């Protein structure tokens, strides 16, 4: 798990703190040089996750919140590996996802998008990687939705990912996009990532994991350090 410790960023991959096209970063970006604070016990230990924290259907968003029927939308399978810069697997890592439903609506009181909520879709799940660093989720392909960044702004289809390391400072939060989405060239969040890093956030269609008559498959791998490291979510 030590490979989850980040000592530096590749500025050719990771987005800058300030990306003027992405309006929120104007308020969030630091205006003074960062101050490195000595790590205390709370940063050096925990959280510790195990199988007891993951339910039998937590990885399956088509089942983990079903009430009166199946969730609406296109079912998909997302799978892949978590590895370090040398290709070694990172086992027993907690991965969480959250996303909008097929209509582009989050189950959150702040989301007031005029789109229907799905009573059978919570939009959140989690799973532990196995000994080979492998993970798999079942979910619904998220819809696009408007946001207030600029006039007629729409977020492309995307899923948020969070990977936890051995302590609170070793967490990777990022987004996964779908190749060929027509909104990508217009999205300030995606465009804030340097060109070298954008391809690393695109999942790829995978016929091998596609399940006949049920769900299309996509592969999305994580590399935690090195030349092909997965970019952090824009701050």
pLDDT at residue 30 is higher than 50: yes
Binned at pLDDT 50, 70 and 90, residue 6 comes out as very low
From the CA atom positions of the chain, what is the Rg in Å? 18
Record the pTM: 0.87
Binned at pLDDT 50, 70 and 90, residue 19 comes out as confident
Dihedral in degrees, nearest 10, Cα atoms 134, 138, 141, 145: -90
Decide if 92 is catalytic.
no
Decide if 186 is catalytic.
no
* From 81, 135, 138, 145, the catalytic residue: 145
- List CB contacts of 216: < 8 A, sequence separation 6 or more: 74, 75, 76, 77, 205, 210
Ordered domains of the chain (ranges, CATH)? 2-223 (2.60.130.10)
Decide if 177 is catalytic.
no
| Average pLDDT of the chain, as a whole number | 87
């Amino acid at each position: 798990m030590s490979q989850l410790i980040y000592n530096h960023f590749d500025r050719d991959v990771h987005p800058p703190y300030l990306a003027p096209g992405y309006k929120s970063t104007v308020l969030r970006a630091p205006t003074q040089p960062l101050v490195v604070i000595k790590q205390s016990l709370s940063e050096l230990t925990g959280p510790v996750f195990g199988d007891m924290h993951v339910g039998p259907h937590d990885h399956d968003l088509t089942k983990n919140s079903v009430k009166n029927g199946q969730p609406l939308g296109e079912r998909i399978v997302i799978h892949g590996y978590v590895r370090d810069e040398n290709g070694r697997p990172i086992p027993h890592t907690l991965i969480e996802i959250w996303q909008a439903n097929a209509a582009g609506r989050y189950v959150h009181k702040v989301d007031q998008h005029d789109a229907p909520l799905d009573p059978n879709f919570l939009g959140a799940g989690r799973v532990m990687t196995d000994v080979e660093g492998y993970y798999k989720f079942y979910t619904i392909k998220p819809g696009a939705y408007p946001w207030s960044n600029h006039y007629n702004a729409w977020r492309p289809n995307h899923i948020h990912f969070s990977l936890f390391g051995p302590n609170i400072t070793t967490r990777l939060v990022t987004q996964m996009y779908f190749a060929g989405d027509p909104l990508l060239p217009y999205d300030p969040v995606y465009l804030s990532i340097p060109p070298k890093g954008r391809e690393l956030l695109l999942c790829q269609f995978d016929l091998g994991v596609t399940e006949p008559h049920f769900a299309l498959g996509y592969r999305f791998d994580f590399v935690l350090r090195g030349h092909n490291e997965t970019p952090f979510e824009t701050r």
